[in-house]
């Protein structure tokens, strides 16, 4: 668990420093642009960490300590997530290569999270005339999710604890939670001063969590190898 605490301490320090810098900087100055502008410092750091995660996971797949099926599946998943998230940060090359991205219902789709925003907009527009239907659909999803967590969540967690892989599971959970919060902020439903900067920082924290998940998967597997 020491690596989990190192991660928590690191992002707490980074976020605290970033918050002080952002708040103390002029509202129309260059410094705040590092946080919120496209292809600027925070976004480029996030993209770099996601690309590093993808490459790191591919390298770890060829290391002896990660030959177990559980470890290989996790690393393949981390590699795919890292690649998709890296492309997300680059808008799939739209600005780099001057590509025309598709538009659906008036919304340009240049990232996977745009489908989330589009779905939310369509749901809110339908809710005005189909409130009962939307409520029943939401309730159904909630019940099915709770049932799935009850049926499979406990078993997987107990297996992770029994094999002492729970730090990697916990770090992966941090990644999922941070991505969910960044998606919620990205919708713009809860606008407040600096919300764009907060979204970028959450995405940076998520990228670091995914990278740490890769490292912990390797580290925990290596620690369980028999000593020769």
Does the pTM surpass 0.75? The reply is no
Q: How far is CA 108 from the centre of its chain?
A: 21
- 172 band by pLDDT with thresholds 50, 70 and 90: confident
Give tens-digit pLDDT for 193-226.
Answer: 888 888 889 999 999 999 999 888 888 765 554 4
What digits encode the pLDDT tens for the residues 153-167?
A: 665 555 555 455 678
Average pLDDT score over residue span 126-142: 63
Q: What are phi and psi of 108, to 5 degrees?
A: -75, 130
CA distances from 195 to 35, 91, 122, 181, 200 (A): 11, 20, 23, 11, 9
The pLDDT tens digits for 33-48 are 888 887 788 888 998 9
């Amino acid at each position: 668990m020491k690596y989990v605490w190192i991660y928590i301490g690191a992002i707490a320090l980074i976020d605290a420093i970033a918050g002080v810098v952002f708040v103390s900087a002029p509202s129309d100055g260059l410094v705040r642009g590092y946080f919120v502008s496209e292809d600027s410092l925070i976004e480029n750091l996030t993209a770099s960490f996601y690309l590093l995660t993808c490459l790191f996971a591919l390298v770890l797949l060829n290391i002896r300590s990660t030959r177990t099926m559980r470890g290989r599946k996790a690393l393949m998943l981390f590699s795919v997530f890292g690649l998709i998230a890296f492309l997300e940060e680059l808008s799939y090359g739209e600005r780099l290569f001057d590509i025309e991205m598709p538009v659906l219902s008036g919304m340009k789709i240049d990232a996977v999270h745009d489908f989330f925003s589009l779905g939310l907009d369509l749901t809110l527009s339908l809710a005005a005339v189909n409130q009962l239907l939307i409520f029943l659909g939401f309730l159904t999803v909630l019940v099915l999710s709770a049932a799935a967590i009850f049926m499979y969540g406990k078993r997987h967690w107990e297996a992770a604890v029994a094999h002492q892989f729970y730090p990697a599971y916990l770090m992966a959970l941090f990644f999922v939670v941070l991505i969910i919060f960044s998606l919620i902020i990205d919708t713009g439903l809860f606008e407040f001063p600096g919300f764009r900067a907060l979204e970028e920082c959450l995405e940076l924290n998520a990228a670091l969590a995914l990278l740490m998940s890769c490292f912990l998967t390797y580290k925990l597997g290596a620690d369980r190898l028999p000593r020769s």
